[in-house]
Amino acid sequence: MMLISAAWILVLLLGGGVALDRTLTNLVERNFDEQLEYVQTALIASAEIGPDGEVLLYRSLGDQRFLEPNSGVYWQISGDGHEPFPSRSLWDRSLEVRGDHIDNEPHFYSSGQFGEEPLRIVERSVILPQSDTRWTFTVASARGELDAQIARIRSILIWSFVVLALGLLVLAALQSYYGLRPLRRVRAAIQRIRSTGSNRVTDPLPLEVQPLVQELNALLEHSEKQAEEARTHAGNLAHALKTPLTVVNNAATAHAPDLADTVIREARTMRRHVDHHLARARAVGRRAVGHARTPVWQSAEAVRRAVERLYPSGRFDIDGNASAEVSIERQDLDEILGNLIENAAKYGGGSVFVTVDAEPDEERCVIWVEDDGAGIPDEERDRIFDRGARLDTGKPGTGLGLAIVRDVAEIYNGSVELSESEDLGGLLVRLSLPRS
C-alpha cells in the first residue's frame, strides 16, 4: 500500500509540477514579451520618414538604457535598400533580421546571435506614411533577467513539491500503519486464542474490523460444532460397538456351540452402526465444503429410475415444482430420497407418489413421499427413527433408512415428519429442506 501510494503521489506531483512549470514559465515570458511589444509600439509611433527618404525618430524613447552601449536592450529599424537604423546601445553591432517572411503582427522568438548574451526579440513589418518601403521594427532584450525569474520560479516549485511529496509520503505511511493497526490487534487476539485456549475473540476492536471478527468467531463456533459432532459420533460408535464385541468375545471364550451364529448376528449389528455413522460423517464433511444448489426434480427422477429396477411392478409418480432447488449436496439428497422412495416401494402397496414443493414456503422446500401401504401407527412414528428399528422384520433391511434420513436432514437444518396420506391412505413422509 505504501509503495503504491508513493508511486501514485510521485506521478501526480511530477505531472502537476511539469504543468505548473509550463504555465508559470509561459506567464513570465508573456509578461516579458508584452514589455517588448510596448517598446516596439512606442518605437513605431515615434518613427517618420525624413527628407532623404531615411527613417528617423522625431522623439527619443524614454528608457535610457537604449543610449548606453551594450546595455542589454536594443532596437533597430531595417528596410530593403536602406542602412539599418540602430539604437546607440547596439554600438558597433547590429541585429540580424529575418527577411524570409513578413510579420504584420508582432513576432516573438529567442536568439543566440550575440553569443553569451541570449536575446528575446520581437519583430514587426510596417509601411510608414510617405514611404513605399516595408520597414522591420526590431526590439531585443537580453534574456538574463527573464531566465533568472524562470530559474527562481522553478527553484521554488521544486523545493515546494519536494516538501509536499515528503509530507504526503509520510502521511501515506502513517495512514497505512495506523489504518492496518486493527488487523495487527486481530492477529494478536488470534495468537491469544491459540496460547490461552479461549474460543472467541472478545477484545474491543474498531467498527471497521468488527465484521471480520464476527466471521472469525462464527468460523470458530462452526469448527467447535464440527469437532463436538465428531467426538459425539466417535463416542456413540465406540459405545455401539462395545456390546457386540463383548458378546462375541464372551462366546468365543466360553467355546459356545452357537459361536458362528453369534458372530454373524453381532457382525450385522456392528455393520449397521458403522454404516449409520459413516453416512453422517459423509454428510457433515460435504456440508463443510460450502453452500450447495441441488435441483430436487433431477434427484427424484434419478432415484425413481433406480428403484424401478428393483420394483418393476410398482407405480411411481412425481409432481410439483420442477425448478425447485435446495441447499444440500446432490449425493446426500439422493441418499435421503433413495431411502424414502425405496421404503415406500418396499413396505407400500405398489404405488409411490412424490410431490416437490408440496407446501408454499419462501425459505423451505417441502417434499412429500406417499405410499398406499398400511402406514405406521401414531405410537410407533417416533420409535421408527431409532437405529435398527423395524416394524416389518419379514423383509430384508438394516433398520437404518429413516435414521439416516433424519440425521442427514438435520445436518442441513432440515426435518422429517411422518403422517397419514390422505390421497393414497398409506404413510406420508414430509421432508423439509432449506431452499437454496
Q: What are the tens digits of pLDDT across the range 106-152?
A: 999 988 888 888 999 999 989 888 888 888 999 999 998 888 999 99
pLDDT attached to residue 279: 67
For residues 14 and 130, state if they share a domain. Answer: yes
172-196 residue pLDDT tens = 888 888 888 888 888 888 888 778 7
Which triple of cell numbers denotes residue 284? 457433515
Q: How many domains does the chain have?
A: 3
388-436 residue pLDDT tens = 444 444 444 434 567 778 888 888 889 998 888 888 888 899 999 999 8
pLDDT attached to residue 282: 65
pLDDT at 9 over 60: yes
For residues 282 and 301, state if they share a domain. Answer: no
Q: Are strands 315-320 and 351-356 parallel, antiparallel or unpaired?
A: parallel
Q: How far apart are the first and last CA of the chain?
A: 38
Q: Is the dihedral of CA 402, 406, 412, 416 positive or negative?
A: positive
Residue 100 inside a domain? The answer is: yes
> Pick from 107, 125, 150: which residue ends a domain?
150
For residues 304 and 283, state if they share a domain. Answer: no
- Written as one letter, the residue type at 291 is H
Residue 377 inside a domain? The answer is: yes
Cβ–Cβ under 8 Å, residues 424 and 351: yes
DSSP string, 14-67: HHHHHHHHHHHHHHHHHHHHHHHHHHHHHHHHHEEE-TTS-EEESS--S-GGGG
Which triple of cell numbers denotes residue 337? 430420497
The average confidence (pLDDT) of the chain is 84
- Written as one letter, the residue type at 152 is R
DSSP string, 257-319: TTHHHHHHHHHHHHHHHHHHHHHHHHHHHHHHH----EEHHHHHHHHHHHHHHH-TT-EEEEE
Start-end of H helices in 88-209: 144-179, 181-196
CA distances in angstroms from 89 to 63, 120, 142, 145, listed in the order given: 11, 15, 12, 17
Residue 187 inside a domain? The answer is: no
Domain assignment of residue 63, given as a range? 2-150
